[in-house]
Structure 1
């Protein structure tokens, strides 16, 4: 964590030195010194943090580095607060500058002393840094220059011997079930990586450790994936084939592959067999010598002595020569980088004799980039089903005897925490197996104390160590992003991904690059964390856009513990009696009573986020809270808080970049909003605010402005927008602008100046302003999402123009209002993935729906009151990529038909509020990929007919291939459904 703090600070210091050189004055050499010294330490910090658990001196040194980095950041932000703010122009501006310069002499002197004090601390830490470099070495010097104690060598030898015994040899079943049993194998000292520490030894044997633990519990749910992998390995393809198995730590990748590797049919198919545990500490020569050792032991011959003196190239040629006439299977377990695979791939001959490589990894990119040939195969590990999880849990906890009835409720609550993770289930089961089955209070205590048990106290140390490997492997900027997720409550899905990305940007976690927006980079970071199996994808939209994500419960508890330990984030709940000292990021969960007072300890606070805050005195509390001194606050997220007004203290937060007041009770925004000169993200979504003051135009750094509300099916998806002041076009940094009312051509023209816009939602468009809007769209070439709504339902959207807008990046489009025809430029949107037409009233004569079928990348289509015809036919060859189709309130529609080879990829078909007098759509049997058919607010006759279908009837046969058929109604704005 210190590495991430220091890396973050170095970026800030670089910015300060480049942009604020005049203001720094005589402090510049001291600031430069601090930056340089911390930079020289950074290379050592990752290695130091990996070893600090075993070394109290290193632990203290890392803590001191982290604290000096935090204190330096505080001084820098205080410096900016006092000296980097803009001033007014004119006479009063000059008077103000003189007054402030006089007033701040003492402040500058104090800050100067603080920087010099920090410099002295850095010098002292640097001296200790030099001593540790001599003792431990650094990453830059390479592993060969590292030093370890002789005791470490003994531990290393034993650990690697266990690894070889467990993974790398043919053995009988009795040996496999008794891992401690000695095996008759030779062990060559030359294959030992001499630089490994105790922590790194743990990484090398992690796969073995996990596999043996899970096997002891009689792993379930493995038969089908094992069968699938064996079929891919034993197919008749003659070329070298790679099979990758990917998933988060603890899912059982190694266990699955070991079952496949030991299968008799697989053993028989190949002449040579080898298992290599690659791990994070990949060393090419060590790996290749290990491979040679296994290959020669299998044929019961000594390794040629010249192998010891060979360099990497000669070793590669040696292996190639050995394997070129043999059919071989090689397992590369626990691969962490593509470089490791590329290096090993060079050694492996492809002589058209159907050899196989099986690779396991936690990182999706490693799996996908390795499997580049068409016959290669990727198997993505999934969590166990609930039924298999329960079976595994009972096997481990009750030795397959079944769960006692008095414990079933608490056991199922505990099992839910494991979320189908086999390693978590067997670890938890192993702890519970020792508990008294008549003492339900002891079992409840394990459930309630789950977080503290996973924080490294011992019982769950094994799973903590395994999951932390993925965290430790992250670069510093991704560590910050992941740790920040610890502010979310347990089982709380991140449903608004952009809110999370905006927070990362506001807190400075994103290292901006030329040619890319900060949002693009933040999304790239998020995808990297997903790619590394650290963040779980909970749901995605049809067009592939991330809809919902979150953390596995086990990983969340580990991250919460790690974050708290490093004073990074702190969660305050209803049980909190005092605020923590020097917390950087504070989350408040479910306060119903009076929160703690005394806010002086919060002066270092950078972000505040609330969840489930029910106290009606929120405004009063917030005012006191902000008066307490968190003047460095950059993120204030009060989403859904019961807040009636914004305390005036909010507008004094000079550093504030992110303000989220969505879902609150606010009705107006005061003029004071203009004081937040550094504000970049303002979210007023789902409030009753209908107008913004002219002072909003002062916020020239604003990237995102979200105001207004949106309805659902019950109110015909109505949008309530906001009135914008004149001059909105001056906010040229805007990338997102939601629900702005454009009742007039002036605002439409202003929108055309916002050329950075990625998302634009406008409402109350008049017919006569349509062509003006199209002219503005000509300049908005960066748009990804566009929503246009008319001033009233019957108003026509006139969006035709002699010159079509160049919206080549547009992926989502929603048009709400009457259309005489679909605009021609819509048909040119080659990237369009999602299209919604509302209240369009297109006629049957215009063949409008047919033309939409030619959009090459359309995956989601909603037609709500969009079509006036009685018949709707989806023609052959149309909608080639469509996955989701919604037909809503097409009142005149009597029948729907689907021709063969139409919508070949459709997976979800929703029909709401359509009478369909002729019954179910014709040709449903042609939709071979259809998984969900949902019918809501349909005629009673049709619902009754579907509910009573005879299994021998023709209608039943047309829907028998659909896995889910459901019917339902909208009741009080909610969808009530029942599955057939």
Structure 2
């Protein structure tokens, strides 16, 4: 991690040398000197980091040296931030009188002197650090060491429990019945071409266990002429792999080894392997593959002899598996965590293997269940903890001790340290730019599902992600998250209807590994309920607070905290916040979502470097005027606060990208205009030229003048306008059409009968989501041209013509909602060939509709069909029985005639929906909108 810290410090130095062309006299030279020293230290940091992590062998001096490098890097980042604050802060003081500015300039002289002194001190420190490095004889960075060298190092440090996976007994296999059958099917059937079968998943899932079990099964053995099982791991030589392969082939077939085998070069070895495999049906198992280019290294030896040969690989990385697709047909088995029943079965096999007939005694069932749940279905953890408990007395006291101290046991108990070691391998393999990104998951509490946008925006605010000129920071952050998912480090929690990740988390045991690393690296200081809040915070960069007490906040006087994340409700935060804002110099992220914060102190503007503020779900009513001083602010999230009017100073924030501002009253009675209120904005919005997301703005406050200013917001990707009046129609069209990046447009009228004319828009080439809640004289022509539109919601439109005609040919449409009298006709007709990709259809509160017709060949991909409160629709949609992909039909407050017609016992139309896996019938009982009486009909299994 020292390598990561230095890399980020170097990036900051390069940035200031490139962007700050008018550095103070002498400072440019000083920063050049710092850059040179960092580059020379960076050359052998990989070796230093590796040796520092080797706790068994490393002297305290090496770890101290690595810590000094890391802290020097932190100081470099801090001094750069302080320099930028002092130099750029003067011009944003908001003081009109020149005498005030002169006074301010004079007041910075002391700060500049302190900065110059600190820079000189850092240079001296770096020189001393570099001199000390010679004492430890660090190696220049080596991407790959020889297999033998690495194995010697690893072997001296810890016993790799993965080795046992290669020799596990069949009786110990639990939970792999279905994946085992699938693997065997792929091995024995299919194409004559050599085919790759990849088993992918996080460390500890049992990939090797499963694959080796299949590899060694008698049915598979008999099917192939020759086999080889090669352990690859992170460090290997290609030559060594081929030699091992040839040895195994020769041993199995009892052929003599080729002469001079170990003296052959790589080309000769490939020829030897190809010659041997020429007329054989072979099976080769490459276990634990880490690198994408592994395919390139071995594919020439994998002869295509049309003998139905097979190659198995196990890997933690999906992109490794997919890389083989360029050379071979590929089957990918994404191995999942064990379900609860299989997790329990495996635990009992390990904990009670030699006693109690493998059964858990009644007095330990509750404790055992709690321990198994903590393992979250990870076989490695279940086996290791079960093995540990098998050595303990079968008493509640002994097991409770392990359960309560499980986190500590993971660090010190010989039975469990292999868990953290194996999970750490995935972290250690990450490139430097991904390490802080995965560490950020540790800031959040265990088992916390993190919103995708929230996480990536915090990464960007922290400086972990930089635009490369071709792609935005958001696009790169999405790629970083995808890579962590592909590496099986991050689990996807929820997915949107488009297939995009909405939220994600890390496994609880990986969370423990991350938290330990964060503490070691001073990445974050944790304050949890019951912790000693007087503990020193030290040089940590971030605070993660999950407690109802704020004593730690009151006691800290640290000026180098870069991020604060609060997860507990907490006591009153305001006094601490005011104190913090007056002292902080480098704060970039302020995450206070869901706390009891009532107001934001007026000195918020002191946080010059602040890039991200999250006040969502707090009781804040007003933002202070000083918010206009936050010249680096990129995200302001005030959703579901009580803020209804933004100060005019908000329009000074030229770097602001996300202004998320609305309040949704979930307790209110249903309203056709919705329960969402936006914010009032004042003249000057045209200055927010970096804005990408603006929702929602109450348009009637600024009127046409406000709307016309929006033509300057050409980076907007999402725009939400509420309280739109009839006369604003044409005024909206002009600026919206200039927003060439616009992906989401949401327009709600001020009243139900307010007609909004949007016909003068010619095209919105990138639009993906459209929500119109307004009276329309006709469906705008441009809607039928939106080739990237995936979601549309129409409400209050009172269209005379069937709206489906404008939508049915849209090639990307996945979700359609037509509700609240969007259509004034009686028949909705889904014609053959229309809506080919549509997955979700929502029809609601259409007072005149009495018939829904679905032609054969329409809605071929439909999975979810929701029909809500259509009073005259008394029969099932005609043709619904032909929707083969339909998974759920959800009827909400529908007429009695329709509900009775699908009753499993006496309904004449029950057979029509019999093929649908789940049919839900809801009846609203109030008073809340979500208060439904729910009855589910599991049609496919004849249950109700």
Question: Shorter-chain TM-score: what band?
Answer: over 0.9
Larger displacement relative to structure 2 (370-379 or 286-295): 370-379
Report if aligned partners of 1:490, 1:553 keep a CA contact under 8 Å in 2: yes
Change (3 A) 1:435 1:810: farther
2:443 aligned with 1:487, yes or no?
yes
Q: Which residue of 1 aligns with 2:743?
A: 784
2:703 aligned with 1:748, yes or no?
no
1:415-466 superposed Cα distances (whole Å, 9 cap, x missing partner): 2222221112212222222333322x44334333333333465442111111
Q: Which residue of 1 aligns with 2:689?
A: 732
Q: Tell me, in whole angstroms, the C-alpha distance in 2 between the residues paired with 1:528 and 1:98.
A: 50
Q: Which residue of 2 aligns with 1:143?
A: 145
Change (3 A) 1:210 1:792: farther
Q: How does 1:274-673 map to 2 (within 5 A)?
A: 274-372=228-326, 375-399=329-353, 401-439=358-396, 441-455=397-411, 458-494=414-450, 496-576=451-531, 577-578=533-534, 580-592=537-549, 594-595=551-552, 597-600=554-557, 602-615=558-571, 617-627=572-582, 629-673=583-627
Q: Which residue of 1 aligns with 2:772?
A: 815
Q: Which residue of 2 aligns with 1:118?
A: 122
Larger displacement relative to structure 2 (891-900 or 83-92): 83-92
Report if aligned partners of 1:243, 1:378 keep a CA contact under 8 Å in 2: yes
Q: Which residue of 2 aligns with 1:934?
A: 890
Q: How does 1:897-976 map to 2 (within 5 A)?
A: 897-915=853-871, 917-943=873-899, 946-950=902-906, 955-969=909-923, 971=926, 972-974=928-930, 976=932
Displacement of 1:338 in angstroms is 1.7
TM-score of the superposed pair, with normalisation by structure 2: 0.92
Report if aligned partners of 1:204, 1:279 keep a CA contact under 8 Å in 2: no
For 1:772, what is the secondary structure of its paired residue? helix
Change (3 A) 1:382 1:201: farther
Report if aligned partners of 1:10, 1:35 keep a CA contact under 8 Å in 2: yes
Report if aligned partners of 2:191, 2:308 keep a CA contact under 8 Å in 1: yes
Q: 1:80 aligns with which of 74, 81, 84?
A: 84
Q: Tell me, in whole angstroms, the C-alpha distance in 2 between the residues paired with 1:429 and 1:195.
A: 30
Q: Which residue of 1 aligns with 2:27?
A: 27
Displacement of 1:696 in angstroms is 1.1
Change (3 A) 1:89 1:430: closer
Q: Tell me, in whole angstroms, the C-alpha distance in 1 between the residues paired with 2:317 and 2:856.
A: 40
Q: Tell me, in whole angstroms, the C-alpha distance in 2 between the residues paired with 1:201 and 1:811.
A: 56
Report if aligned partners of 2:625, 2:649 keep a CA contact under 8 Å in 1: yes
Report if aligned partners of 2:901, 2:910 keep a CA contact under 8 Å in 1: no
Displacement of 1:493 in angstroms is 0.9
For 2:637, what is the secondary structure of its paired residue? strand
For 1:752, what is the secondary structure of its paired residue? helix
Q: Which residue of 2 aligns with 1:168?
A: none
Displacement of 1:941 in angstroms is 5.0
Displacement of 1:340 in angstroms is 0.9
For 1:685, what is the secondary structure of its paired residue? coil
1:101-137 superposed Cα distances (whole Å, 9 cap, x missing partner): 44333333332222222222211221233444x4545
Q: Tell me, in whole angstroms, the C-alpha distance in 1 between the residues paired with 2:160 and 2:696.
A: 56
Report if aligned partners of 1:582, 1:603 keep a CA contact under 8 Å in 2: no
Q: Tell me, in whole angstroms, the C-alpha distance in 2 between the residues paired with 1:561 and 1:220.
A: 30
Displacement of 1:483 in angstroms is 0.6
Q: Which residue of 2 aligns with 1:8?
A: 8
Q: Tell me, in whole angstroms, the C-alpha distance in 2 between the residues paired with 1:108 and 1:332.
A: 59
Change (3 A) 1:401 1:959: farther
Q: Which residue of 1 aligns with 2:217?
A: 263
Q: Which residue of 2 aligns with 1:864?
A: 819
TM-score of the superposed pair, with normalisation by structure 1: 0.89
For 2:40, what is the secondary structure of its paired residue? helix
Displacement of 1:947 in angstroms is 5.0
Report if aligned partners of 1:784, 1:811 keep a CA contact under 8 Å in 2: yes
Q: 1:58 aligns with which of 62, 68, 72?
A: 62
Report if aligned partners of 2:874, 2:895 keep a CA contact under 8 Å in 1: no
Q: Tell me, in whole angstroms, the C-alpha distance in 1 between the residues paired with 2:235 and 2:322.
A: 21
Displacement of 1:11 in angstroms is 0.6
Report if aligned partners of 1:821, 1:848 keep a CA contact under 8 Å in 2: no
Report if aligned partners of 1:535, 1:552 keep a CA contact under 8 Å in 2: yes
For 1:761, what is the secondary structure of its paired residue? strand
Q: Which residue of 2 aligns with 1:804?
A: 762
Q: Which residue of 1 aligns with 2:36?
A: 36
Q: 1:71 aligns with which of 72, 75, 85?
A: 75
Q: Tell me, in whole angstroms, the C-alpha distance in 2 between the residues paired with 1:90 and 1:536.
A: 46
Unpaired stretches in structure 1, ≥5 consecutive residues: 145-191
Q: Which residue of 2 aligns with 1:175?
A: none
Q: Which residue of 1 aligns with 2:47?
A: 47
Q: Tell me, in whole angstroms, the C-alpha distance in 1 between the residues paired with 2:568 and 2:492.
A: 24
1:237-260 superposed Cα distances (whole Å, 9 cap, x missing partner): 111111112111111111111121
Q: 2:678 aligns with which of 721, 724, 727?
A: 721
1:903-928 superposed Cα distances (whole Å, 9 cap, x missing partner): 22222222222236433333333222
Q: Which residue of 2 aligns with 1:775?
A: 734
1:151-189 superposed Cα distances (whole Å, 9 cap, x missing partner): xxxxxxxxxxxxxxxxxxxxxxxxxxxxxxxxxxxxxxx
Displacement of 1:553 in angstroms is 0.8
Displacement of 1:313 in angstroms is 2.1
Q: Which residue of 1 aligns with 2:940?
A: none
Change (3 A) 1:343 1:456: farther
Q: Which residue of 2 aligns with 1:249?
A: 203
Q: How many residues align?
A: 919
Displacement of 1:745 in angstroms is 2.3
Larger displacement relative to structure 2 (401-410 or 938-947): 938-947
Change (3 A) 1:204 1:836: farther
Q: Tell me, in whole angstroms, the C-alpha distance in 2 between the residues paired with 1:113 and 1:796.
A: 66
2:834 aligned with 1:878, yes or no?
yes
Q: Tell me, in whole angstroms, the C-alpha distance in 2 between the residues paired with 1:47 and 1:319.
A: 35
Q: Tell me, in whole angstroms, the C-alpha distance in 1 between the residues paired with 2:325 and 2:123.
A: 51
Displacement of 1:468 in angstroms is 1.0
Unpaired stretches in structure 2, ≥5 consecutive residues: 938-944
Change (3 A) 1:88 1:6: closer
Q: 1:831 aligns with which of 777, 780, 788?
A: 788
